[in-house]
Structure 1
Amino acid sequence: MLDIINIPHADPLNLPLMHGIGPVSIITGLYLLFILKLGRRFMENRQPYQLRGILKFYNLFQVAYNALMFLMMVTCLVVYKPYKFSCMVPSPLDHGVKNWERFIGYAYYINKYFDFLDTIFFILRKKYKQITILHIVHHAAMPMAAYLTMRVNGYGGLPVTVSTANTFVHTLMYGYYYLASQYPNLSKSLWWKKYITILQMVQFISVLIHIFWTLQQEDCYINPHLINGFIGAGIFLITMFSNFYIRTYMLSKSKKT
């Protein structure tokens, strides 16, 4: 598995934070150090910060960012039509849509670093119960997963469907976060929160179905590292999100009744 880091970059374009595994490892390590130790120590004798103005801007920014990425990815898939849905391989480096693939792929990757702010804000607001194992693992793993995906696969291809589904879900999710942070009394009536979790699980299942369908196609080569990584991540995330849903929305409800 570690031989992945020695694989040459599938795309020679050397964008910031993409030239090696070092930057993503360091940034993710600092993130984990802050949320697991330094941040909690910093807040130990401090009152929680409200951050209402910052959260308003951040959540609206994330809604706009993810919505824009979603629309751009749909445009790529529907208007430019660079792929066969049954065999989505990256476009050749000299293809007219290549820079479009690079832009949306890199924008998606950078957004995974912005997502770190979710946890940092939880720390500063002392919302420690929100920082579940699922939350930490999911956030910490995504930048590395996105980096390795683009390293072995390049920009575009099969990951576009994953990113399209993910940005759609995140647009709704940050919309919920915005309403919950700005209107605390309203948060209990936001009944659709659990359906975002369901939508996330549907997303992972749909991706797995698409991958297994792709594997049935003849004369369709997709990097095996990418396939194995997506399948492993999909199964892991379905398991984690299912466990979260059961504990949060089913077991907790049964305890109240």
Structure 2
Amino acid sequence: MDTSTGTLLNGAVKHPLLLADPWFMITVLGLYLYVVNSVLPQFMLFRKPFELKKFMLLHNVIQVVSCIYVIREILFVTDNGVIYFWKCRQLSQSTENVRRHFSLAYFLFWLKLSELVETMIFVLRQKQNQVTKLHLFHHVATLTLVYLLIHYNQNGSSAYFCAFLNSIVHIIMYSYYFVAAVADKSIVRTLQPIKKSITVIQMVQFALILVQLPTQIVLCGVPRGVIIYFGTVIIAMFYGFYDFYTNAYKSDHRVKNRE
């Protein structure tokens, strides 16, 4: 195997230079937070919002296609066993399986990195209200979780359960965004309940991942530090999306009831 897909060296893995240690990721995330919270808001202070419709459509298509690819590769790497999340199954050590395991992990890293663009789109369109603490935390945390997958995957195929669910959610979400961007306003209003349902689906995703967590602790022997960090992130995301759902939708329901 070449270094672009990971090289097995005496049982260890030689990762590509940028992914060999966390400093590239830390640097990018630091710049990301600085740019979206300071540089771009200052840049947009006396400017009209950019439309960016074509770029957004392209971004949505790329995300959907990428998630379909991720699901296909997960099914291959796990031998279609990813849905059995409670089982501990070691990944096959065949040359092809190892190659595609690391190729997939690296692809997930760059895919999550590309999602940071969404925050910049919000700011450039002067939708700073969408750059919430939950939004920033979600993007930062998911990238760090993929880094853990690359370097600390000791629970085999079960580690891909999270990415599998997330890819399904993102296919639904980005498909909705694409349709909402090109459809007539009346159609968008008709599809509004789907937006609410996406938030519910995201919470269900996190709930299923939390159901999986005890099996990884008890049965799979995942390092305690990894489990604590992973569990903390998922709980925080679940709470964040639940809080968003409560404030965004239940408050709307109360207002309608008063009318």
Structure 1 ranges of 4+ moved more than 4 A: 81-85, 92-96
Partner of 2:164: 164
Q: In 2, are the aligned partners of 1:70 and 1:167 still within 8 Å (CA)? A: yes
Confirm whether residue 152 of structure 1 aligns to residue 137 of structure 2: no
Partner of 2:135: 135
Report the Cα offset of residue 189 of structure 1.
2.2
Q: Which amino acid aligns with 2:190?
A: S
Q: In 1, are the aligned partners of 2:145 and 2:230 still within 8 Å (CA)? A: no
- Cα separation, partners in 2 of 1:62 and 1:84, compared to 1, 3 Å: closer
Taking the aligned partners of 1:23 and 1:155, their CA distance within structure 2 comes to 25
Report the Cα offset of residue 157 of structure 1.
3.2
Report the Cα offset of residue 203 of structure 1.
0.8
Q: In 2, are the aligned partners of 1:153 and 1:223 still within 8 Å (CA)? A: no
Deviations along 1:133-190, one digit per CA (max 9) or x if unpaired, are 2111111222122213322226953321110001110111111111222236133222
Report the Cα offset of residue 94 of structure 1.
5.6
Q: In 1, are the aligned partners of 2:63 and 2:174 still within 8 Å (CA)? A: yes
Alignment of 1:67-216 (within 5 A): 67-79=68-80, 81=81, 85-88=85-88, 90-91=90-91, 96-153=96-153, 156-183=156-183, 185=185, 186-190=187-191, 191-216=193-218
Partner of 2:52: 51
Q: In 2, are the aligned partners of 1:201 and 1:238 still within 8 Å (CA)? A: yes
RMSD: 2.4
Taking the aligned partners of 2:139 and 2:209, their CA distance within structure 1 comes to 19
Q: In 2, are the aligned partners of 1:73 and 1:160 still within 8 Å (CA)? A: yes
- Cα separation, partners in 2 of 1:92 and 1:70, compared to 1, 3 Å: closer
- Cα separation, partners in 2 of 1:27 and 1:156, compared to 1, 3 Å: farther
Residue segments in structure 2 that go unaligned for 5+ positions in a row = 1-10
Q: In 2, are the aligned partners of 1:60 and 1:174 still within 8 Å (CA)? A: yes
Taking the aligned partners of 1:63 and 1:251, their CA distance within structure 2 comes to 31
- Cα separation, partners in 2 of 1:140 and 1:216, compared to 1, 3 Å: closer
Between 1:175-184 and 1:242-251, the stretch displaced more is 175-184
Q: In 2, are the aligned partners of 1:62 and 1:171 still within 8 Å (CA)? A: yes
Report the Cα offset of residue 90 of structure 1.
4.8
Taking the aligned partners of 1:237 and 1:82, their CA distance within structure 2 comes to 22
- Cα separation, partners in 2 of 1:83 and 1:255, compared to 1, 3 Å: closer
Q: Percent identity?
A: 24
- Cα separation, partners in 2 of 1:31 and 1:155, compared to 1, 3 Å: farther
Q: TM-score, normalised by structure 1?
A: 0.86
Q: Report the secondary structure of 1:129's partner residue.
A: helix
Partner of 1:60: 61
Report the Cα offset of residue 82 of structure 1.
8.9
Q: Report the secondary structure of 2:19's partner residue.
A: coil
Q: TM-score, normalised by structure 2?
A: 0.85
Taking the aligned partners of 2:53 and 2:83, their CA distance within structure 1 comes to 43
Q: In 1, are the aligned partners of 2:172 and 2:198 still within 8 Å (CA)? A: yes
Partner of 2:23: 22
Taking the aligned partners of 2:86 and 2:132, their CA distance within structure 1 comes to 36
- Cα separation, partners in 2 of 1:95 and 1:155, compared to 1, 3 Å: farther
Residue segments in structure 1 that go unaligned for 5+ positions in a row = 1-9
Taking the aligned partners of 2:254 and 2:162, their CA distance within structure 1 comes to 34
Q: In 2, are the aligned partners of 1:119 and 1:131 still within 8 Å (CA)? A: yes
Q: In 1, are the aligned partners of 2:82 and 2:160 still within 8 Å (CA)? A: no
Taking the aligned partners of 1:196 and 1:82, their CA distance within structure 2 comes to 22
Taking the aligned partners of 1:83 and 1:160, their CA distance within structure 2 comes to 9
